[in-house]
Structure 1
Amino acid sequence: MANLLRPAILAAARSSRIKSAITHAPGTRSLVTRFVAGEARDDVLVATRALLDSGRAVSIDHLGEDTTDAEQARAIVAEYRSLLGDLAELDEAPGSHRLEVSVKLSALGQALPVDGDKIALDHARELCEAALAAGVWVSVDAEDHTTTDGALSIVSALRADYPWVGAVLQAYLRRTESDCRDLAGPGSRVRLCKGAYREPASVAFQSAAEVDDSYRRCLAILMDGDGYPMVASHDPAMIDAATAEARRTGRGPDRYEHQMLYGIRDVEQQRLADSGARMRVYVPYGAQWYGYFMRRLAERPANLTFFLRSLTTRT
């Protein structure tokens, strides 16, 4: 079924007619706005303020990956800089790192035909410098497996000056256990997620059980290390595993965190925050919400059922 749904969802992502229908359909539009904070910076700042007031931390993603135009990449950098300036004023506890921005290197120009890696690195450095002044963390998001080497190389370069830059690893990739060992050193922040892109069996585990087993192995490596694990999962089994691993390794709530997507399992997010755990919410915003939303479904069409189920329950 997934193989049949994916081409249809990708086709819908390119259709202006379907985009218009989704944008103007009250039911579907409410589904989208449940998971995307809005199109404007003011929208995400309102959502961020509410999450901070609830005791949760926040990571903000300005939607705009797959940039192939240098001017567009600069515009995305400018938006992030403005966002960071606003976040510096929003945070009443500077230095607490309750606020973070997540960036995709493809949004910063990595896919440009000439000097893409250098341009993305230069842009990322600019954002890290602005984030440092604002007291905000930065994490470099994962994309499909073909970008992993380039992304980790850029993260390594950034950490020479900004050692707090976070890396994102996807447990369904066969290489990730090795990457976790490489990145589990002192001060290293690693967000571990299961992964949502559709990848070939040669590089990625295909069954849910295999991915779960890999996640647990990777989580144990990170918890045994000297870094700061960020457990990005909505799966109750993985949340329980993180709690057990933290107990096994003697980690207090200030030495790791949970992460979930905006609009997913809100009650569980609040429960974790109220229990004293650090709970960070990944909040996307921007005018490119339609492509983001459809790609999320296309990456793993089973997400469609998950999103629809989440619309009827906030647990």
Structure 2
Amino acid sequence: MALSDLLRPALLAAARSPRMERTVTKIPVTRNLVDRFVAGETENQAVAATTSILDSGRYISIDHLGEDTTDLAQANNTVSHYLTLLSALSQFTQNGEKDKAAFPPSPVRNVEVSLKLSALGQFLPQDGHKVALENAHKICTAAEEAGAWVTVDAEDHTTTDSTLSIVRELRQDFPSLGTVLQAYLKRTEADCKDMSGPGSRIRLCKGAYKEPASVAHQEKTAVDDSYLRCLRILMNGRGYPMVASHDPAMISAALQFAESKGRTADEFELQMLNGIRDAEQLRLVGEQQHLRVYLPYGEQWYGYFMRRLAERPANLAFFLRSLVSTN
């Protein structure tokens, strides 16, 4: 077993550990490394990063970091952040007033926000489902006014049923609403079949949480095989697949599947995380592929940062080398 396979469970466990959070966030070098993946802590910093990404020909999906909210005031504060962000982002969209002539007609929206329903109150002890639904509805309404898309993020497997239920309710008013499915979950192949109908937008990723073997594939080869099966279902479907992967094999397969189904560039997109494989992102854009960058911002960056270290050995090696170089 590779060292990365041994470290990944430990890093994912650390992502949920308040004690480890206190330790890691106090290391001086951590903040500099976080800046590689996270746009900053404020809406202004997120908008500044957006400008650079859109100017490069890439699209963007912005996530205000936060999850597992158990406080109503905190959930409402998250909504306020999104409303402020969307107001600022409207300048970049086809609905915005800034240089409308610069936007060629396209069914694809260049700006998107991503939501974690647990940050909107999904698991509040009373009326969590109702609170998260209402809060997400407010954000979706503001996004429509701004000309931006919204995609609901996936979290650990215990949230999946509740999340997909809320997504179905929201899609009655916002049919362009997207959601995320994680290929390492054994249920995802069936979910792809169920949710790949007309107008659907599904972001397919491999998965980034520590999950038990009873619900999730554990070996890389099994996860890869599941990803390819799910990807084929989405490409054969009638929706808009969003291929979230840095794996060259998955990207190549996506392009082959799209070509075999006669999909145009406006009928699917590739997605990668901010700060990872930037040169490859730009290469794909140069080949006229739609590529969207997932850009997080906010003060609650620790869990996101640890999951990025767990996903790719290169990220962890970069972090460890930086620690050594500062001593």
Separation of aligned partners in 1, 2:319 and 2:272: 13
**Deviation for aligned residue 1:295:** 4.6
Equivalent residues of 2:60, 2:111 under 8 A apart: yes
Give yes or no for the alignment of 1:31 onto 2:33.
Answer: yes
CA contact (8 A) 1:63 1:284 kept: yes
User: Does residue 113 of structure 2 align to residue 113 of structure 1?
Assistant: no
Q: Give the stretch that moved more between structures: 284-293 or 130-139.
A: 284-293
Pick closer, same or farther for the CA change 1:90–1:30 going to 2, 3 Å. Answer: same
CA contact (8 A) 2:11 2:307 kept: no
Instruction: Please give the root-mean-square deviation of Cα atoms over the aligned residues, in Å.
Output: 2.0
Aligned to 1:229: 241
Q: Does 1:125 align with 2:127?
A: no
The match for 2:217 among 187, 205, 208 is 205
What is the Cα deviation at residue 170 of structure 1? 0.3
- 2:315 corresponds to 1:306: yes
Displacement of 1:194 in angstroms is: 0.4
Q: Aligned residue for 2:96? A: none
- What corresponds to 2:272 in structure 1? 260
Q: Which secondary structure does the structure 2 equivalent of 1:254 belong to? A: helix
Number of equivalences: 305
Q: Distance in 1 between matches of 2:266 and 2:194?
A: 22
Percent identical pairs in the alignment equals 57
Give unpaired runs (5+ residues) of structure 1: none
Distance apart, 1:6 and its partner CA: 4.8
TM-score calculated relative to the size of structure 1: 0.91
**1:19 counterpart residue number:** 25
Q: TM-score, normalised by structure 2?
A: 0.88
Deviations 1:249-278 (A, max 9, x none): 000111000000000000011111111110
Deviating above 6 A after TM superposition, structure 1's stretches of 4 or more consecutive aligned residues are none
Q: Conserved in 1, the CA contact under 8 Å of 2:308 and 2:315?
A: no
Give, in whole Å, the separation in 2 of the partners of 1:112 and 1:62. Answer: 19
Tell me, yes or no, if the aligned pair for 1:167 and 1:189 is still in contact at 8 Å: yes
What is the distance in 2 between the residues matched to 1:163 and 1:149?
19
**Partner Cα separation in structure 2 for residue 89 and residue 129 of structure 1:** 17
Query: Structure 1's 295 and 258: CA in aligned 2 closer, same or farther, altered over 3 A?
Result: closer
Give the secondary structure class of the aligned counterpart of 1:218: helix
Distance apart, 1:40 and its partner CA: 1.1
- Cα distance in 2 for partners of 1:79, 1:39 equals 11
Displacement after TM superposition at 1:303 (Å):
3.3
Partner of 1:81: 83
Residue 12 to residue 107, structure 1, CA distance change in 2 (3 Å) = closer
Deviations 1:215-273 (A, max 9, x none): 11100000001100000000000000000000110001110000000000000111111
Equivalent in the alignment of 1:42: 44
The residue type paired with residue 22 of structure 2 is: S
Distance 1:81 1:69 in 2: 19
- Aligned partners of 1:163, 1:15: CA distance in 2, in Å? 38
Name the CA distance, whole Å, in 2 between partners of 1:291 and 1:219.
Answer: 27
Structure 2 unaligned regions, length at least 5: 1-5, 94-98, 322-327
**Counterparts of 2:195 and 2:161 in 1: how far apart (Å)?**
13
Deviations 1:187-222 (A, max 9, x none): 100000000111111111111001101111100000
Q: Which amino acid aligns with 2:175?
A: P
Whole-Å separation in 1 of the counterparts to 2:294 and 2:19 = 22
Question: Tell me, what secondary structure is at the counterpart of 1:61?
Answer: strand
Match for residue 198 of structure 2? 186
- Residue identity opposite 2:193 in structure 1: R
Distance 1:272 1:311 in 2: 30
